[in-house]
Structure 1
């Protein structure tokens, strides 16, 4: 038995924090707070762990630089049998030494009562995955790769789910004859190859910098602190979900249903930005508002595995929704999807695929990735960028959002420096404007004629609340009249969007309705892209 535990200590995961002892009852106090502490390894474990950490970092560095390293060694004549044999012997010696260091680290862990208790609980949970053992395991923060699965896509049957992944909207192919199609495929083959290499190398990392290991390593102390806060102050529950593509999705759930507040009965599912993590991201906004909240990390972020391509993103979002329904006990009508920035893609996919969802809130999001990608790339790369985005990174938020019939709220940052195509000083280049216009033009085509678009663009050009109010009052918008017109149309027809309301209306009436709808669907927030949204700015979308 002792030998088995020693082996488990050698092979066991890195323990980072103890949120509370498994046999410690949660102390009463403000917010049900439970005080945790950072795991303190003893001297032997600490020094051997440091050696293994440095070895891992050097291995990662050599792995990514291996093409250049091999070319250099080849030119110097080191890649030959006479030179490779001594090198292989040296590498073997290093591996044996590292194995000895790992055994010493395991010995150090075996002598630490806290680690020994943790590894015992982990092994018991793997053998007997019950609510009691899971509750004990959640008292520890350790390498998430060793965390047992809490929910899998195989536990539910759904026509949306398959091993190939959930369905996405694809770009419409150009119609060609058979001969033209073959010739065009041959002619564009180099472009396809280059696009693939760009998307799977620096392109994906530029689009999702949070998936870069070095950035995650630099942010690690902040992420650990944020996770400890969610668990110890808000009694958050960390869960591992397995998506249909095999990726593990790292999630955090805070349950407010027993607090007695009205907002606690609503679950807000949060979709983070391209460098956001649930530990320090937009999850804090609905938390401050008293909602039940479910946060999750993109594939390749934090404890989640995989890479954040659109298909993987949608697969992850799907298993998160299934988990909320089948394990957490929420109905789709109880769920609000809240997204910041690039998270608008998974949020718009969710409401498109699950139209019964209560509502969606998109903060600092955009209509389409392509204009923003063209902004940062040379003009000479334009055809290549278009092909790469459409084939591998087609974040078509507006196209997906138009498939949803429910309430929508867009939050625009008036000094946004990320999703503008010319700069933060030009509020009209904010792609959130295009998202609003596309949504209004689809839902209310008779109102959003050329004149309707013109007055909405005039309102969007306001750089502060005073100018915004001036434009609104300048057209003498009567809110009560606008509501009555829309309610009358809805009561008489009860039809899905698009509506034909406004087709027999005067030009002045259409202007009023266009401005009224624009202000109901979009709220301005005077700040930059990365400023956290205060809870006071998080509202339920407008309902007629």
Structure 2
């Protein structure tokens, strides 16, 4: 029995915190705290530090391996006579690290808190009952050892197949058979370079939160944020298995049993490219009393995989399925809220599940390509265009236009990330383009925009003052829309307010109709890109 426990301690996960002691009194000196950090004893602490440094050095050498190999080659170290001593040295280091791991297992075996934890973990793996899961939820440990709570296979009639969910693809250029073959041969080097760029520094530039070294640096902050969600809000951590096999780390806070009108509404939060649910936009709807479901991108914190668009959509799909089939929410009780790059998965969700109640996009953009071209050299333009369209096609506007429900766009007037020229130029904020695409699709107003130059008006920072200055009659606009809705039960686009250039001269009040629509779909927030959104700025979208 002792040998079995030692093996479990040797190969067991690292324990970080004890949120609630399961069926045991709090240790002396900790009576005033709901949870506490796990305190390893001296032997476990020192050996764990050694293994941690070894892991960090391995990560550094992995990312810098091209430079290291080039240096070793130029110095003549890559040859058979010198590789043998190096391999012997590496073998010695590995044996030493194995010995350190054994000592760490011995240190864990001597710690009663770790022994109790590993016993509960093993019992939960054998018998995944709600009681055992509740006991295991009292601990914060390496998420790779957490038992799965939900899988896409549990859905009797899954919306999508095991091959992955559906994504919008760029329209192919039609060519003859000979032209297609010649073009494929000609562009083969570009395809190879694009693949290498996308799967190396490109993906890490787009999603810096997936870089292991950054996650190590943020680990104390993430652990503190997770402890807050579990200990203050009674959050439930869950592992979801998506159709591509990735494990998605999710956190659910249930407010349905509390007083207040918002608890029955579930807000699913989609984080930014360096955001985590532990410290991200979950806090905004939590402050408003909503039930909240947050999740981490593939490759972020406890989630596995890499955050390419297909994997992102697969993860979002299993999150929605989990909310409906495991948590018991209806689609019309769900609001999707996203910040920044999270707008891609959010717009995909409402496109794929049109019954979702509403969508709120904060500091999001219409398309990734203009922002990618902004930060890359002009000479790289063809390569960047091909790479984005082929591997990182975050086409938020196209997906958004396929959703019929209520939408709210929050534009940050000092945004320095999604502007193409700078934070001082609000006309270059890509949120403007997202709004225009939405208006053009829903209200068939292309002729109007071309005629009166509403593009410039919407892109200016004076949207509110323009709206007030023109004295838009809200009651008249609402009566027009309600009358149209009563007469026609048709989806968008609506042709209400569609006039030719001659009509615009005859009926100038229809100029103001577009300002009414713009204000209903977009709100300004006077701040920069990364400022947390206060609950006072979080509103349910306008619905006719």
Alignment-derived partner of residue 479 in structure 1:
474
CA distance in 2, matches of 1:452, 1:356: 35
CA distance in 2, matches of 1:456, 1:450: 6
Give the conservation status (yes or no) of the 8 Å contact 1:437–1:453: no
Alignment-derived partner of residue 30 in structure 1:
none
Aligned residue runs from structure 1 range 280-295, under 5 A: 280-295=279-294
Deviation at 1:459, TM superposition (A): 4.5
Deviation at 1:135, TM superposition (A): 0.4
Q: RMSD of the TM alignment (CA)?
A: 1.7
Deviation at 1:454, TM superposition (A): 2.3
Give the conservation status (yes or no) of the 8 Å contact 1:150–1:240: yes
CA distance in 2, matches of 1:92, 1:481: 80
Secondary structure of 1:269's counterpart equals strand
Deviation at 1:450, TM superposition (A): 2.7
CA displacement 1:153-194 (0-9 Å, x = unmatched): 111144532222101000001110100000000000111111
Deviation at 1:88, TM superposition (A): 2.5
Secondary structure of 2:524's counterpart equals strand
Structure 1: runs of 5 or more not aligned: 27-32
1:495 aligns with 2:490: yes
Give the conservation status (yes or no) of the 8 Å contact 2:190–2:383: yes
Alignment-derived partner of residue 165 in structure 1:
164
CA distance in 1, matches of 2:291, 2:459: 33
Alignment-derived partner of residue 20 in structure 2:
20
Secondary structure of 2:453's counterpart equals helix
Give the conservation status (yes or no) of the 8 Å contact 2:415–2:423: yes
Give the conservation status (yes or no) of the 8 Å contact 1:336–1:360: yes
Give the conservation status (yes or no) of the 8 Å contact 2:443–2:498: no
Give the conservation status (yes or no) of the 8 Å contact 1:475–1:511: no
Aligned residue runs from structure 1 range 1-400, under 5 A: 1-23=1-23, 35-400=34-399
Secondary structure of 1:295's counterpart equals strand
CA distance in 2, matches of 1:469, 1:77: 67
Instruction: Tell me: CA distance 1:25–1:512, structure 2 relative to 1, closer, same or farther (3 Å).
Output: farther
Give the conservation status (yes or no) of the 8 Å contact 1:447–1:502: no
CA distance in 1, matches of 2:262, 2:188: 53
Deviation at 1:69, TM superposition (A): 2.8
Give the conservation status (yes or no) of the 8 Å contact 1:49–1:105: yes
CA distance in 1, matches of 2:395, 2:362: 16
CA distance in 1, matches of 2:536, 2:467: 23
Instruction: Tell me: CA distance 1:76–1:254, structure 2 relative to 1, closer, same or farther (3 Å).
Output: same
CA displacement 1:363-387 (0-9 Å, x = unmatched): 0000000111111111111111110
Alignment-derived partner of residue 519 in structure 1:
519
1:444 aligns with 2:474: no
Instruction: Tell me: CA distance 1:83–1:450, structure 2 relative to 1, closer, same or farther (3 Å).
Output: closer
- Pick which of 64-73 and 42-51 moved more: 64-73
Give the conservation status (yes or no) of the 8 Å contact 2:442–2:492: yes
Give the conservation status (yes or no) of the 8 Å contact 1:441–1:448: no
Give the conservation status (yes or no) of the 8 Å contact 2:406–2:541: yes
CA distance in 1, matches of 2:317, 2:204: 23
Give the conservation status (yes or no) of the 8 Å contact 2:404–2:491: yes
Secondary structure of 1:108's counterpart equals helix
Give the conservation status (yes or no) of the 8 Å contact 1:367–1:431: yes
Structure 2: runs of 5 or more not aligned: 27-31
CA distance in 1, matches of 2:365, 2:172: 24
Give the conservation status (yes or no) of the 8 Å contact 2:428–2:459: no
Give the conservation status (yes or no) of the 8 Å contact 1:413–1:526: yes
CA distance in 2, matches of 1:528, 1:448: 33
Deviation at 1:244, TM superposition (A): 0.7
Secondary structure of 1:241's counterpart equals strand
CA displacement 1:322-366 (0-9 Å, x = unmatched): 000010000000000000000000000000000000000000000
Give the conservation status (yes or no) of the 8 Å contact 2:272–2:342: yes
CA distance in 1, matches of 2:51, 2:465: 64
Deviation at 1:34, TM superposition (A): 7.3
Secondary structure of 1:258's counterpart equals coil
Instruction: Tell me: CA distance 1:452–1:327, structure 2 relative to 1, closer, same or farther (3 Å).
Output: farther
Alignment-derived partner of residue 531 in structure 1:
531
Deviation at 1:60, TM superposition (A): 2.1
CA distance in 2, matches of 1:137, 1:452: 63
Alignment-derived partner of residue 29 in structure 1:
none
CA displacement 1:378-408 (0-9 Å, x = unmatched): 1111111110000000000000000000000
- Pick which of 145-154 and 451-460 moved more: 451-460
Secondary structure of 2:100's counterpart equals helix
CA displacement 1:236-293 (0-9 Å, x = unmatched): 0000001111111000000000002210000000000011000010000000000000
Q: TM-score, normalised by structure 2?
A: 0.95
Alignment-derived partner of residue 29 in structure 2:
none
Instruction: Tell me: CA distance 1:517–1:52, structure 2 relative to 1, closer, same or farther (3 Å).
Output: same
Secondary structure of 1:361's counterpart equals strand
Give the conservation status (yes or no) of the 8 Å contact 2:334–2:356: yes
Q: TM-score, normalised by structure 1?
A: 0.95
Deviation at 1:451, TM superposition (A): 5.9
